[in-house]
Structure 1
């Protein structure tokens, strides 16, 4: 049976935490200050509140302030600023090409960000499709997001392997019947994680069945 791989993007296929996320956070805060006419402390509060409540800051801004989603995403994910911060001198193309099966990217990032990043990382040709948040609406870890991606890609959850740095996202994946691979430095793994690896380079060495999770 052919394997189907779903990959998260940030901190899974590349390391976003050191420079990328702080810059996006700064741009989000500035956007909220400008468009909601609030001070920096209130902008920080709203950004974090909506992220915790809705899984993405954008969810709260659209619901409570009628912010235009596309306008927000374009202004907070400026690829001219972000791409120079991301190292593309990696072994990702070789690593991913060693994995048998079909591959997709499934990210809470905006579509233009996801598309630009995988081309920058020289791995775009290895994926059948990439899914940014505009394509599935509700952010991970909501089950609706996973079902939208499965429906649009025409694959069954029980034939998928989800690779993520977020344990919460993997919990939903496992509940839907996927195998799960968690990229983490933590020694203990939750019961819904099938495999834990400390880096993506270890992935080809895993022997993973695409059969339904027990």
Structure 2
């Protein structure tokens, strides 16, 4: 496989977000909801989880049920960069894998642009990426919605058939596959799925 363009997810693809980033972001979301909706901590946490389960992103539930609140302020507050950068957990052999992988590389994330830029810099791989599509550059449409993917491809000036997407989320890969992208599923086991053209357990398998 010699693709022209690689499109990478960020969290749990380029770094292990479960160890630090996701707990920090989840706690910040709960605190923001508690303060802005005047809820107890327990109720705010329940709403955060309910919106995520129902809409696929807490922010979508916020926009639907609380349109008077700013989604941009929510995204900024829920990604406290100073706290997030205190513990970064890159995937094994991340730098050498990306450096040796032929083709241009792009980032596509449901996080805000400031968070994506910070993470690439902290991981030491920002110079390897041509562009970043973040939720605030694709009209606040998160993956896996097709509108988000189309906005990403338009931003990058790419055709789906020329790209390979590397993701840990099969829901996102289902959309990518439907649009004509080649798909690689990064997951702990080797269980396959029709939407995945290839399954890898470690990112460095891309250069093997």
Same fold by TM-score greater than 0.5: yes
Number of residue pairs matched?
A: 205
1:88 and 1:120 in contact (8 A); partners too: no
Q: 1:89 and 1:189, CA in 2 relative to 1: closer, same or farther beyond 3 A?
A: closer
Identify the residue that residue 99 of structure 1 maps to in structure 2: 101
Rounded Cα–Cα distance in structure 2 between residues aligned with 1:52 and 1:67: 20
> What are the equivalent positions in structure 2 for 1:136-155 lying under 5 Å apart?
136=138, 137-155=140-158
State the Cα distance separating 1:131 from its structure 2 match: 1.3
Q: Is the 8 A contact 2:13 2:91 kept in 1?
A: no
2:201, 2:73 → 1: CA distance? 36
- Find runs of 4+ consecutive structure 1 residues off by over 3 angstroms: 87-91
The match for 2:11 is 10
The alignment's TM-score, normalised by the length of structure 1, stands at 0.91
Alignment gaps of 5+ in structure 2: none
Name the residue aligned to 1:77: 79
Question: Normalized against structure 2, the TM-score is what?
Answer: 0.94
Asked if 2 retains the 8 angstrom alpha-carbon contact of 1:111 and 1:131, the reply is yes
Structure 1: 5+ residue stretches without partners = 206-214
Contact residue 167 and residue 182 of structure 1 kept, 8 A: yes
Distance 1:88 1:178 in 2: 25
Aligned residues of 1:11 and 1:165 also touching (Cα < 8 A): yes
Deviation at 1:144, TM superposition (A): 0.5
RMSD of Structure 2 on Structure 1 (CA): 1.5
